[in-house]
Structure 1
């Protein structure tokens, strides 16, 4: 039975053309299946058209930190998939569509070498709504996990995964040569992942650099809580990058979050600044759900939901500069093709 998601796959694959990344929302908030096209040279050997990364999976129950009376978060609606097997089904669905279009000879076969069709798990942050233990335990132990220095010991405690790699952080004195940043072992040569740290552990940016063609690089910049755009390493990455790249998309939310008078999530205004500075082709909304709070957290957290129109009203730009700003909202279980 065809769904809006599979219809998008087929529309992209027919007629045959250069493949583009496909992002699928797993929970309507901040969990994604990020599918990056593989080079044609890998299609035969892998039997797959895409390299599939599970991003900050929170799919199974609430997030409880220490105790439910202290920190308890819940999503506003049930995730589209609730475990690793469900995500694997999404991968097979996409690869089957590619096979039907003749892009690959066959989709990933069930149980080849006992490996999951998921190629990697990326955990960008060590708090429980990003690194959700009950969800991670539902994924195959064979999937390589890439995470932060703070996240690695927490994932090791799960005693689940055989490969855990720390994603490098850019040096504060980074000057723009991102190719010199140590490549995370286990990722293919056409993908690179690293982070930019901000003034607080909540405020960071993850950069995924994809080589879409020989000597052509595109970036996806993920900053769920926002990052001051004046951060020196970010400025060097955006304006002095070597090799040069274009920003395909930013993944950034619209809501602001405050703990009393301390702003922890910068929201739409910061997202608009990053969108402008990076000259991104797309702005994809993430981490923007109306979460349910209980316990002590209920008393101290205040979410303020903003719109891009509000953010445009806050900046000093002429009307022409404001016309083409659009935020892509990807529904729970739906996908977006980044053309």
Structure 2
């Protein structure tokens, strides 16, 4: 792979409902000589994530929308191949936000050098050891304030955040961890690999009914990746004083009509519930604690993870579509360079 040019994926139209290939294009960009204090990085993995669907819409959100005709951004990890920065050497592994391309170049301050961990693929920095794991950690412990002995329900449990959240809940002493997923294989994986006490396929029957059966004593904490009928089910099953960390609303992302909200919002009042939405950008003061604890769990063999790896920058859009269709187990990444 030459590093003098960069293959990049750009958004060229705002999707209406489900995105299509016509909403994107691939371009080849000639890279200029490095200015002082810059680095050039050959990306090895880039991340595709559900939040990116929201950035394709020109609406108010916690992060600016992608600009039409410009290369999209997102998490990526790679190696420095050229540097004019005193803080970065050729060969350094760096984590950054210039994804959706195979070669990245920019100010060195935007590229954080990270250590290589024996036996751990670099892609893990985009998942369990990165913002994905931090999202789960933050939502459970700082937003929902989960306590030892509590009953936890996690929607979208077989995805990247869900598989992290279930394990963190277990490690932090939850008395029962319940998850939802969309296929029998994913349901089995939750209980057989990720330590969930119970799991159900949300397609089999109404979520409210299945959650009642899985949590006969109610729930204390809900980690919401889905919204819609899952949030409604949680509101029905909450014990008094329950808390929800609202992380995502996958059910709404590709909707073309208004999605109905839960019909039982009055339970928030009568049961004294707390529902709080969050994004990680407002809580980075907790990142060091997460890194230290998660690294320790990895070192002690207490964390497992799955990745769904799609090969090639030219397949990045299809990888994103697969993510939206729920075809991933664990973190979805695109390998755009040599693996380490």
- With normalisation by structure 2, the TM-score equals 0.30
- Which protein shows a greater Rg? 2
- With normalisation by structure 1, the TM-score equals 0.30
